[in-house]
Structure 1
Amino acid sequence: MTTTNEKNIATFLHLSALTQYVIPFGNYIFPIVIWSTKKNESEFVDYNGKQVLNFQLSIFVYTVVLCLIAIPIFIYSIFKNVPEGDIHINREFVIDNLSMGNLTGISILGIIAVLLFCFIKVIEFVLIIYGAVKTSNGEFYKYPLSIPFFK
């Protein structure tokens, strides 16, 4: 049976991941600090701390993969659609040739990667709140699609 104090600490662990919107890397710093100070006191807090960190690290990995796909595609698409003489002769970057007609399948793949990134961030926010609610009810919550870095 988990105590109210354990439920509150575990809930705060989940909600501390939202500090990423205020403090850079807050979604890693605050859960690590809370988890490392309280993990030996409660199995419930230890489990939830691992789940929060696994989920945040998984989101980071998914974001890096999407960036590795999207950024080179966008750079390639921009330089492919702008004639070389426009860049070197005028010494300014004019984007007159970027139109819907010049979009290729690879450009659309880059746009899909950016949309997936936005979708991941919205789902992350919702799942953090959902995990906090489940934890406040005393349930052991495991985030979906989370890579188990900490077991």
Structure 2
Amino acid sequence: MEQNETTTPPPVPPSAPSSGIPQDERQWAMFAHLSALLGGLLTSGWAGSVGCFIGPLIIWLVKKDTMPFVDDQGKEALNFNITVGIVFLVLFLLSIMTLGLGLIITVPLMVIVGLAWLVLTIIAAVKANEGVAYRYPFTLRLIK
């Protein structure tokens, strides 16, 4: 008595993303965005928003000549974090110039900007990992 054995085809290897961007470039682009979060966490006590653009700056400077997608996304992350740093500086100066009375306005604005920074950075990291060139809203394009 012979049993009918059906052979199953070998599993299909995962296809390359439709964007055509290699996995290592997508990962480095994601790291460029996420390094701002790490920098913000590590330097929040003494450097504040300055630490948020050191990570994207380093990744962009190291990888810009060899990985075009990282060049694009590194500049985008750097521009966004510089913009957020400028906004926080203006809000801080407004607080000082009003002798603390401006804190009624600036503290809620700082919370809103901080939450937006967190959410937009995570969205950008996910999109970069998918191979999508993400553009942050309300960003000054200082580095081109």
Q: Shorter-chain TM-score category? A: 0.7 to 0.9
| Aligned 8 A contact 1:134 1:140 in 2 | yes
Letter in 1 for 2:66: E
Corresponding position of 2:42: 22
1:52 Cα deviation from its structure 2 partner: 0.5
**Unaligned stretches of 5+ residues in structure 1:** 76-106
Distance in 2, matches of 1:6 and 1:118, equals: 33
- Does 2:73 match 1:48? yes
* SS state at 1:74 partner: coil
Corresponding position of 2:98: 73
- Aligned equivalent of 2:86, options 61, 75, 88: 61
1:63 Cα deviation from its structure 2 partner: 0.9
Distance in 2, matches of 1:69 and 1:125, equals: 23
How large is the Cα RMSD of the aligned pairs? 1.4
Judging by fraction of residues, say which structure has more helix. 1
| Aligned 8 A contact 1:16 1:26 in 2 | no
* TM norm structure 2: 0.77
Deviations 1:56-95 (CA, angstroms, capped at 9, x unpaired): 10001111111121222234xxxxxxxxxxxxxxxxxxxx
% of aligned pairs identical? Answer: 35
Pick 1 or 2: higher relative contact order, CA cutoff 8 A, min separation 6. 1
Moved over 4 A (4+): none
Matched positions, count: 119
Letter in 2 for 1:15: L
* TM norm structure 1: 0.74
- Does 2:121 match 1:128? yes
